[in-house]
Amino acid sequence: MEPEKSPVSAAETGEQTVEQTVEQTGEDLDLDLASIFVSDAQFNRNIFFDSSPQAVRLYMLYNHWGLKVALFFFLLLDLSLALFEDPALVHLPLWATLSLELLCVLVFAARLAHYARVIPPDKFWKDPKNICIIAILTLTLLDMLIYGSLKALDCPGVRWSRVLRPLLLVNVTEGRQLRRAVRSIRNALPQILLVFLLFIFSILIFSLMALKLFSKRGLKTTDGAPYFTNFLHIVFDLYVLVTTANSPDVMMPAYNSSSLFSVFFIVFILVNVYIFMSVFLAVVYNNYKKHLKEEVRQLVRAKRHKMARAFAVLQQKSAEGAEPVVTHDRWSRLVRRVRPDISHAHKELLWSVCDPEEKGAIGKLAFVQLADLLNIEVITLKQRPHPLQTLSPALYLSAPSRLLCTIVLHRGFVVLFDLIILVNAVFIALDEENPLISNSEWFFLVVYLLEILLKLYVHEPRAFFSRHNFWNWFDTVIVVAALVATVANSALKSASGYTSRQILDIVFILRVLRLVRVVDSIHRFRAIINTLIRIGPAILTFGQLILVVYYVFAMVGMELFQGRVRFLDSEDPERSHCGNVLLTDSAFARHNYCKNNFNHVVSSFILLLELTLVNQWHVLSSGFSLTTHPAARLYFILFHVTVVIIIINIFVAFVLEAFFVEYSVEKSSLQNSVEKKIQELQLGVQQEKMEENLVNSMETMDSDQENGQKKKPTLVFKIASKRYRTVDALIQRIFENDLDPEDFNENEDETNGNFSNPTFNL
Amino acid sequence: MEPEKSPVSAAETGEQTVEQTVEQTGEDLDLDLASIFVSDAQFNRNIFFDSSPQAVRLYMLYNHWGLKVALFFFLLLDLSLALFEDPALVHLPLWATLSLELLCVLVFAARLAHYARVIPPDKFWKDPKNICIIAILTLTLLDMLIYGSLKALDCPGVRWSRVLRPLLLVNVTEGRQLRRAVRSIRNALPQILLVFLLFIFSILIFSLMALKLFSKRGLKTTDGAPYFTNFLHIVFDLYVLVTTANSPDVMMPAYNSSSLFSVFFIVFILVNVYIFMSVFLAVVYNNYKKHLKEEVRQLVRAKRHKMARAFAVLQQKSAEGAEPVVTHDRWSRLVRRVRPDISHAHKELLWSVCDPEEKGAIGKLAFVQLADLLNIEVITLKQRPHPLQTLSPALYLSAPSRLLCTIVLHRGFVVLFDLIILVNAVFIALDEENPLISNSEWFFLVVYLLEILLKLYVHEPRAFFSRHNFWNWFDTVIVVAALVATVANSALKSASGYTSRQILDIVFILRVLRLVRVVDSIHRFRAIINTLIRIGPAILTFGQLILVVYYVFAMVGMELFQGRVRFLDSEDPERSHCGNVLLTDSAFARHNYCKNNFNHVVSSFILLLELTLVNQWHVLSSGFSLTTHPAARLYFILFHVTVVIIIINIFVAFVLEAFFVEYSVEKSSLQNSVEKKIQELQLGVQQEKMEENLVNSMETMDSDQENGQKKKPTLVFKIASKRYRTVDALIQRIFENDLDPEDFNENEDETNGNFSNPTFNL
């Protein structure tokens, strides 16, 4: 019985406890408890906390954003210690890194102790996550002790516990998304393994055939080495061919000897590259979808159950035998506790969605929606007059001023600036040594600044810079930064006669980035970019997963291969063979890959990225196997299997799935009912005129006000269309159509089934 | 109004014509007409044929398999002419290839003339397919004339019409599958183009940034060439980086100069390789699925309508006002005409599925199922005693003989032979120069032969070699071929003392292939292989598509690049630069890629396959741009976009979709009802004991017969589980769940909608 696993049994025992606590401490504690249930439901936290008053207070503290930020800061610190530890990018003395690590370990231990106070002891000790953290922390302390003593005695030591660091990311309570990704990979593993075995069998069969066909022919590779004579080398070469990294080189000697041999390679490529790689994607995708669906189903059930518990805490009966309800007053105080940041108007909007008939109280079904309602991002627009209008209405509303506004809001204004950007692109491409070109930069800077000022003249500044206007922010930041950098560069140049290469680089990058703005003007491009931005946060989960895998491989790689290959200054005579005579005349040194090494954590990460791209990975791996042992290739093969075959395929599966949802589903039913309500209350921004762009919507409002026909409300709402506050919500949406909205019957057996193992076993 | 497009209007006008013809020529013509409708429905042919008696006869002739085979033979001949035409693999005189091509053109013209007689003239001229064929044939004749005259005058000429040849494959009536694939690509093009433009924009922005950052730094590549100084070269290099073919080489000079520059490349790779390539797959997949779904919906409607027309032709009314029905007699004669090859028992089985209540006549709804019923592959097993049993029952049923049967059918027998295969694998891997090893080959051959003979002793030979026992056929063919080749080799060796390398190669390949049999013994591997075999035919459609695209690119490539790069004998002094001084010291020559050229159609195809694998495509393209013009790169970029970005992605989409169907759907409802009927009639093979393997099922039957408890029927049926006679059926199955089985209402508007343009416009 892990804590995250048993919201059901928690409910059954919990409700009794709740009844008692209500009598004891009354209203305030009720609201605390209910708000915890609601926020747990909102963020899909499945923590079996004790419902005693102290435990509830502690649990609220445990979920405080400050503590979470601190935790992630220390996690990041712990991971980034690799920069300063031997082999270091920036060298720090051993006592400094060890004491920093000790600090991190203490913080994690404190966090875990806090968690232990929140949940009942028996639950705590049954949760593999907690055991994992304790094990990792103990092993880390042990390793620090051993390594510290060894170094004090000047003996060589291995910091093996660094491999365990990224696993903390998976096992902390907040690593929910990551844990789910790891779990879906683990569930897909048996199927993947099966196909992988068949794939390996196929490679072995082809290798055997290659051995028999080519070994006696005395063929030579381009380097003059014997071609296909050793079985293990053939297996490796054919595995590399599956990744296409040595195509067509591996085929050339045989093909040069007889065209017919190309048949062997064509069959091999068709079977292993096209068929098997597609099957890998299909198997990974299929398993990923299947398990994710089951998990999300369980998550939604757990969420409904938590909301039902919150309802049980707050419910009141108007009369004997009547259905229990929650009154507007209690509901309102609950929402204020759960989300203190949302405006009163927004809260009332949500209430009117829950209580469309204005009864003043809502039943269980309506109450349960709250968690999803809070996840719908509603943008509150305060419709204020322009500050200049308040300052001097006569001037701002005068004919020339209004003409200016009309010009700025005209479609032609956008087209004009797109043309200016294109001209600017040509000027950037030309040589900046030419004084005309370099001076033109000042002209463009002024023009862009003018554009922003004009827009600020027309639009209300706070609306212009509201959180959701990505492109306005982008424009302003880029232009202002370019201005600052250009001025700094000129000042430096005129003061010392010397141009800073770094500042110039920044200026160049900013100048080119300005051109990106053109994309926003083309409606169809904007749609694609918006889709990408929307699925972005969900993709970041995979970023974390990649980080964990990269970190583990980087730590192992650094222990195995550090110092074997060195990047030397151009004056050094050993430069041609990367500081290691074993690499003389090797393909690795010939390609000038010396800087691709495991000598510190940053170069390790860059090398691993190159391996992820697959191309030339056999050359990279040959460098390290030549300088150590042929078995070093296993490290690179293992990396390829883990990252390229498994993780990249899951990434592709996720992107495909997210795209299909974006394309096919329009809005969730709950979003629709909120939107309908906004329309009913006439608080909506006219969607069709607005087109996801607040600048245009302002135009509509302005002209309405000028016409003075009807006093518009000063506050309007808008749903941040199809954007999700949490990744869960996106995943849930994927399977929304398959879920029954009335399904409250929790079945304990099912809850204890497949999904309910939200921990990462080492 | 294209012929394939208007089954609906055909139906409306057709039914009247049908009534008239019934009166005129009676029963026989009725059956002809109905059988055409049924077979059109079965194979999803949408041809608007004239329903006059002559036209119907001609149409039946048009659909005769002999004529179709002849057509495909001449299509293949036409395409393979490229082998003999200049630049030729096997040189034939010009008059020979020209007269062969003329023959092909005449055959295609005759086939088209036949088609013109079948359908009404106005329909014929409105079908773009026919116009396309006429245009292609005319242009081909014109080209032949011009080229022939030019050659007669010893002038150089270009055989440009060869590019058009593969388009015939798309436009002939039988190219239905291929046309559908082309159509789904064409429909996805606007969306793909949009993403492609954004992708190109992104590359241009990054190129501009690279130009500003790197051009003034005086960096050099490994070859000593200036690094990132020319904008167009940067664009090409970054495009190549998207395909990962020049990773990490393109990054190394910048990375060596400063580690910070790696950030530029990392961002580039994340955006363009991972994000954009995933988006391409998502867009292609999504559009493919969307359009395919619509097409299949229309196909199913057209099919039902054709079946309804067949019903209208055959229907009889038992009494005034009663529902029209088709009697068993008429139905039976119809099926005999449509599928003369199926057995009487199979036919009766289908009838009993249609008419479960044994009324002797069926209504419209039951009749319409016929087309789908005929597409379900039912295996008829004749349960015969073993010929040896018939010959000498006493001996065959004696105790030692029965013991032998028990041994052979025992699980241990399979395990024993798997072990022998593994030992054999080790022996093959060892050096065959050793006399012990080379003689062991005889031992293994004898053992394998013995195994087959033992199995034949136990199983009835015709059942053992029935069409669906893939592995029995595989085993026998491989072992017998290996025996013949080994004997031939030994005979040759002892006769002339000389070993033929070719025969030895074949012997080696056959020996290794024998090992593949091990896969069949492992149940889970067999499941994967069966899935692959099942989706195989559908994948062949993509094989045709690839053939068309490759052929077009090969023809263009041969005209552009023939003779530029030559593969020379090892003695030739020009070998090091591929016979072209422009290639001296180029990467192309250094990699020894001289044989990758466009000098004849076979080497062109191999080169195109290497380009499809992407790796080193920039080196290959550099060879041809160095020897011709830098713009030659466009040819290679265009090939990459067409084949890798579009066609391979559609291929992956198709494989994914087919896999999901195989995994998720068990059997179609119609298959289930046939299976239920087989069970009801006690004609079924016991599925659970049988496990898709007839050998095991024989065991069950044998022991039953031996027990003599119950006389089993001598004929049993089995559904070839989840295997499809046509690719359409597989595709239809993908969307089966979305289709309403009662939907007969054809809507002409919809039929004329998006889907109904089954032609390929040039």
* CA dist., res. A713 & res. A684, Å (int): 10
Q: In terms of C-beta density within 10 A (0-12 exposed, 13-18 middle, 19 or more buried), how is residue B173 classed? A: buried
Chain B residues whose CB is inside 8 A of the A516 CB are 205
- Average pLDDT of the residues of chain A: 80
Between chains, do A615 and B247 touch, taking CB under 8 Å as contact?
A: yes
Mark yes or no for CB contact A656/B285 under 8 Å: yes
DSSP string, A146-175: HHHHHHHTT-----GGGGGHHHHHHHSTT-
Cα maximum dimension of chain B? 97
For residue A730, name the pLDDT band (cuts at 50, 70, 90): low
Rounded Cα distance between A279 and A283, Å, is 6
Is residue A115 pLDDT above 60, yes or no?
A: yes
Per the model's pLDDT, the better-predicted residue between A561 and B384 turns out to be A561
* The pLDDT value given to residue B325: 85
pLDDT at B166: 93
> What b-and-e string marks burial along B296-319, b requiring 16 or more CB atoms within 10 Å of the CB?
bbbbbbbbbbbbbbbbbbbbeeee
pLDDT at B185 over 60: yes
Amino acid letter for position A333: R
Q: Tell me which residue in A209, A262, A505 faces B508 most closely, judged by beta carbons.
A: A209
Report CB contact under 8 Å: A592, B222. yes
Question: Rounded to an integer, what is the distance from CA A171 to the centroid of its chain?
Answer: 17
CA dihedral A167, A172, A176, A177 (to 10 degrees): -40
Q: What is the ipTM of this complex?
A: 0.85
Residue-wise pLDDT for A52-110, tens only, equals 888 888 888 898 889 999 999 999 999 999 999 888 888 889 899 999 999 999 999 99
B503, closest residue in chain A (CA to CA)? A213
- The whole-angstrom separation of Cα B89 and Cα B605 is 12
The predicted structure's pLDDT at residue A511: 85
The residue with greater pLDDT, A116 or A23, is: A116
Band (B15; pLDDT cuts 50, 70, 90)? very low
Nearest-CA distance A699 → chain B (Å) = 29
Instruction: Tell whether A660 lies on the interface with B, counting CB pairs under 8 A.
Output: yes
Exposed e or buried b per residue across A343-362, where buried means at least 16 C-beta atoms within 10 angstroms of its C-beta: eebbeebbbbbbbeeeeebb
Per the CB < 8 Å rule, is A602 touching B505? no
Identify the CA nearest to B179 among candidates B402, B10, B5, B32.
B5
Beta-sheet pairing, B361-362 with B715-724: unpaired
- Statement: residue B720 has pLDDT above 70: no
Lowest mean pLDDT among A319-328, A604-613, B250-259, B274-283: A319-328
Residues 672-701 of B with CB under 8 A from A: none
pLDDT band at A702 (very low <50, low <70, confident <90, very high): very low
Instruction: Give the length of chain A.
Output: 762
Write down the pLDDT at residue A149.
92
Residues B245 and B240: their CA atoms lie apart, in Å, by 6
Note the pLDDT tens digit of each residue in A378-392: 766 666 778 888 888
* Among candidates A595, A613, A659 on the partner chain, residue whose Cβ is nearest the Cβ of B255: A595
Note the pLDDT of residue A503.
82
Q: Does B685 have pLDDT greater than 60?
A: no
Cα gap B536→B428, rounded to integer Å? 31
Percentage of residues in chain B having pLDDT higher than 90: 24
Name the more confident of A742 and A257: A257
Tell me, what's the pLDDT at B20? Answer: 45
d(Cα B3, Cα B10) in Å, to the nearest integer?
A: 9
- Scanning A618-647 for CB atoms below 8 A from B yields 620
Report which secondary-structure segment, H or E, holds B376: strand B376-382
Contacts A508 to B, Cβ<8 Å = 209, 212-213
Compare all CA atoms of chain A with the CA of B613 and give the residue at the minimum distance.
A244
- The CATH 1.20.120 portion of chain B extends over 395-516
Tell me which of B371 and B603 has the higher pLDDT. Answer: B603
Q: Is B196 in the A-facing interface, judged by CB distances under 8 Å?
A: no
Give whole-number Cα distances, B261 to A514, A608, B253, B256, in Å. 20, 16, 10, 9
CB pairs under 8 A between A and B: 196
B609 contacts in A (CB within 8 Å)? 266, 269
- Position with higher pLDDT, A744 vs A488: A488
User: pLDDT by residue (tens digit) across B336-371?
Assistant: 888 888 888 788 888 888 887 878 888 888 888 788
The model's pLDDT over B503-525, given as tens digits with 9 standing for 90+, comes to: 888 888 888 888 888 888 888 88
Which of B202, B211, B247, B267 has the most A C-beta neighbours within 10 Å, making it the best mutation to test the interface with A? B247
| B472 touches B463 (CB < 8 A) | no
pLDDT of residue A740: 57
Separation CA A102–CA A511 (nearest Å): 45
Minimum mean pLDDT range among A370-374, B116-120, B186-190, B637-641? A370-374
Name the band, by pLDDT with cuts 50, 70 and 90, for residue A718.
low
Residue A670 scores a pLDDT above 80: no
Partner residue opposite B209 with nearest CB, options A509, A613, A651: A509
What gap in Å lies between CA A565 and CA A562, rounded to an integer?
7
Residue given tokens 């040759």 in the structure block: B492
B437 has a chain A CB within 8 A of its CB: no
pLDDT computed for residue A13 by the predictor: 44
Cβ-defined contact of B222 to A591 (cutoff 8 Å): yes
pLDDT at A663: 65
Q: Which of chain B's residues have a Cβ under 8 Å away from the Cβ of A656?
A: 278, 281-282, 285
Cβ pair B208:A269 closer than 8 A: no
Identify the closest residue of chain A to B593 by CA–CA distance.
Answer: A252
Contact flag B212-A519 (C-beta cutoff 8 Å): no
Residue B55 has pLDDT above 60, yes or no: yes
Residue of A199, A512, A523, A526 best to disrupt the B interface, most CBs of B under 10 A: A512
Q: In chain B, which residues have their Cβ closer than 8 Å to the Cβ of A197? A: 525
Q: What is the pLDDT of residues B537-566, one digit of tens each?
A: 777 888 889 999 999 999 999 999 988 888
Q: Please tell me whether the peptide bond between A573 and the residue prior to it is cis, using omega within 30 degrees of 0.
A: no
Among B266, B512, B595, beta carbon nearest to A212: B512
pLDDT band at B205 (very low <50, low <70, confident <90, very high): very high
pLDDT band at B575 (very low <50, low <70, confident <90, very high): confident
Asked if B603 has any chain A CB less than 8 Å from its own CB, the reply is: yes
Q: Is A87 helix (H, G, I), strand (E, B) or coil?
A: coil
The alpha carbon of residue A108 is apart from the nearest alpha carbon of chain B, in Å, by 32
| Interfacial B residues in 75-104 facing A (CB < 8 Å) | none
Least Cα distance to B558 among B140, B77, B160 occurs for: B160
What is the helix (H) or strand (E) element at residue B715, kind and residue range? strand B715-724
H/E run at residue B462: helix B461-464
How many beta carbons lie within 10 A of that of residue B510, not counting itself? 19
For residues B50-61, give the mean pLDDT: 85
Q: What is the pLDDT confidence band of residue A319, given thresholds at 50, 70 and 90?
A: confident
Q: What are phi and psi of A238, to 5 degrees?
A: -75, -35
Q: What is the pLDDT of residue B13?
A: 44
Distance between A689 CA and the closest CA of chain B, angstroms: 24
The answer, for A430 touching chain B at a CB cutoff of 8 Å, is no
Mean pLDDT for chain B?
80
Q: Could you give the 3-state DSSP secondary structure of residue B481?
A: helix
With beta carbons less than 8 A apart as the criterion, state whether A241 and A277 touch: no
Across the interface, whether the CB atoms of A515 and B256 are under 8 A apart is answered: no
Kindly report the nearest CA distance between residue A726 and chain B, in angstroms.
Answer: 21
Q: Say what the pLDDT of residue A466 is.
A: 76
CATH topology of domain A395-516: Four Helix Bundle (Hemerythrin (Met), subunit A) (1.20.120)
Q: Is B433 exposed, middle or buried (0-12, 13-18, 19+ CB in 10 A)?
A: exposed
Please return the burial class of A44, using the count of CB atoms within 10 Å of its CB with bins 0-12, 13-18 and 19+: buried
Q: Are the Cβ atoms of B615 and A286 closer than 8 angstroms?
A: no
Highest mean pLDDT among A114-128, A735-749, B548-562: B548-562
- Say whether A231 and B429 touch across the interface (CB within 8 A): yes
